[in-house]
Amino acid sequence: MSKKIFLWLAIVFAATLLAAPARVAAQSQAGRDTVIVLPFENTTSQREYNWIGASFADSLAEIFAHAPGLGVVSTDERELLYQRLRLPLTSSPSRATAIKIAREAKATLVVIGTYSVKSPEAKEGGADDKEDKVAPLEVSVTASVVRVNEGKLWRKFDLGGALTNLQRTQGMLAYQILYLRDDALTISLNRVLELATKVPPRAFESLVKGIMTEDPEKRSAYLQNAGREFTKVHPGEIYPEAEFELGNLYYRQEKWKDAVEHYAKLKKGDAHYAEAAFYGALTQWRLNDLKGALAMLVPLTADMPLTGVYNNAGAISLQAARGEKPGEERERLLKQATDFLARARETEPQDATVLYNYAYALFLSGKFAEAADQLRDVLTLKPRDGEVLFLYAKALERAGQTEAATAADNEARRYLKPYAQHQTEWQKSQTITAVPPRLASQFDVAHAIEIETKPAQASAAAAPDLLERVRKLYVAGQDDELLPELNRVLMTDPSNAEAHLYVGRLYQRRGDLPRAVASLKAALFWNAKLIDAHILLGRIFLEQGDRAQAMVHARTAIQLDPNNQEAVALFRQVETGTR
């Protein structure tokens, strides 16, 4: 081997060694990236094509969400951010403003761009050449990727194509940005283009136009057309985004039947399914279809553990229970209501609506002193609430606290306008149906996004640390700190059986046995072999004198682990009838 060749190979090898750490560092940095895409700016005077700018933001965000190792600020998150900053949803900000928005979103990359729409140059040919007269419009796009921390342009892309191929153009741009970020990209160009073009072009265009217009009639026409165009290409399927937006439109117009028809079409896994189920349940409630409302809302409590979801499921269950005659169904609905409202109270201990509904459930359950205690807490938050004062007075009256009941009743007369009507009903039937449960009217989009977008692996990684802290707090008896930590675990992982077990232990220690039982049953729902939950339930049932239920759990615990001393001791206690 000549000296020149050897020297050349040595240089190449050294360059490779030097480049490798840089590539690794770049990929490591890429793994920590979060990107936000802002609406592109229309640089022409043709306002009818403004919808294209919004479509770039939505499409690129949707594609980026499928790229491994890349965090994405979703369309919903971006819209919430724009609302907080009081920016029009379709505005195309300057680079400086874009960087500010990205920093608010905690993004490391921001994509901004401009575009123009024009007719292509006519081809040479005769006057009778009809193809030249119908040449498609063309879109020219310039996109910029800016590194937020440095505030500098990273790369600019120029591309374009026929307007009819807009989605493909967006797919090509998305792929180039992904490749810029990581040249070892594992998602293929074909996969990116498949994601970009999954919605038929005409359906896609109609959807974006419908979302952008403020005219209700035009919005309805565009969205319905989007649905039709989608179904033409995908027979038997619905366009979830179009159905959701139609539901929202009719909900705002108080066309309840039309709204629920469209909300009900969304299924689990569809975009905006949770929000559609929430508002769909509210529309069913307004139509007085309580069973239909609960059918939409109860399944949502497992997927979307939000205060408003729990509250509404509990409040509607309460209303349904009131309409039932005394019997098993009424008791089932009342227990369901109490359980949901207890969970809502755990997530938001100072929410006046939740506390009011929880007190209402206790009242209907005959626990008047406990209901009064809860209502006293509500009155610290809303001291002039007539309905709360009325219910408080009646709870005190039924609890035998006559003097306090009279004072509360006098306050209710001052602040409750229809007091006479409510009092007449009470005197005739000792019922409170004139005082309604209270529903949350707004879906908590911000917290829903946190739940939906939190990576599963991150939740799994965080759970052991959170549970370790829970165990230490429980052993130390620091209950005031324990409950918020348990809420954190259950907000990220509602199916965590051990967290439900500790909630049950906490309430058992506080002497709140009904809630302890509910939490322990939830733990066993998610893990039927959780022996500690069986043992604690057995002890509680034995203490309450329910030997049959205690024996069920004692036997199960023994079967799970015949050598467990606590299980053996419980079994012997139940057999002998000792406590």
pLDDT at residue 123, as a whole number: 47
Q: Which of these three, 276, 296, 316, is where a domain ends?
A: 296
Same domain, 289 and 183: no
User: Which has the closest alpha carbon to 56: 82, 92, 32, 80?
Assistant: 92
- Residues 431-438: contacts with CB within 8 Å, 24+ apart? 432/360, 432/363, 432/390, 432/391, 432/394, 433/322, 435/360, 435/387, 435/390, 435/391, 436/319, 437/314, 437/315, 437/316, 437/318, 437/319, 437/357, 437/360, 438/315, 438/353, 438/356, 438/357
Q: What is the pLDDT of residue 492?
A: 63
Residues 42 and 150 in one domain: yes
Same domain, 182 and 239: no
Q: Are residues 424 and 471 both part of a single domain? A: no
Q: Which residues contact 70 (CB under 8 A, 6 or more apart)?
A: 30, 33, 34, 35, 64, 178, 181
Structural domain includes residue 82: yes
Position 501 in a domain: yes
Q: Which amino acid is at 3?
A: K
Within a domain: 361: yes
Q: Do 490 and 349 belong together in one domain?
A: no
Which contiguous run of DSSP H or E holds residue 484?
A: helix 479-492
Q: What is the CATH number of the domain that holds 143?
A: 3.40.50.10070
Q: Is residue 23 part of a domain?
A: no
Q: Tell whether 404 and 512 lie within a shared domain.
A: no
- pLDDT, tens digit, 9 for 90 and up, residues 127-154: 444 444 556 789 999 999 999 999 899 9
Q: Residue 128 falls within a domain, yes or no?
A: no
CB-count burial class (<10 Å; 0-12, 13-18, 19+) for 191:
middle
Containing structural domain, residue 40: 33-120+136-198
- 386 SS3 class: helix
Q: Which residues of 390-414 are buried (b: 16+ CB within 10 A; e: fewer)?
A: bbbbbbbbbbebeebbeebbebbee
- Are the CB atoms for 396 and 405 separated by under 8 Å? yes
In a domain, 219, yes or no: yes
Residue 305 has a pLDDT of: 87
- Do residue 429 and residue 331 come from a single domain? yes
Same domain, 477 and 383: no
Q: What is the model's pLDDT at position 453?
A: 59
pLDDT at 458: 40
Number of independent structural domains in the chain: 4
Question: Both 392 and 408 in a single domain?
Answer: yes
Clarify whether residues 417 and 289 are in a common domain: no
pLDDT at 120: 72
Report if residue 448 sits inside a domain. Answer: no
Cβ(422)–Cβ(416) below 8 Å: yes
Q: Tell me the CATH number at 328.
A: 1.25.40.10
Domain stop point among 157, 182, 198: 198
* Amino acid in the structure at residue 464: P
The last residue of one of the domains, among 275, 296, 317, is: 296
Q: What's the pLDDT at 91?
A: 77
Q: Are residues 210 and 168 in the same domain?
A: no
Question: Are residues 61 and 176 located together in one domain of the fold?
Answer: yes
State pTM to two decimals.
Answer: 0.70
Residue 446 domain-assigned (yes or no): no
Extract the residue ranges of the chain whose pLDDT is less than 70: 1-31, 121-135, 450, 452-465, 488, 491-494, 577-579
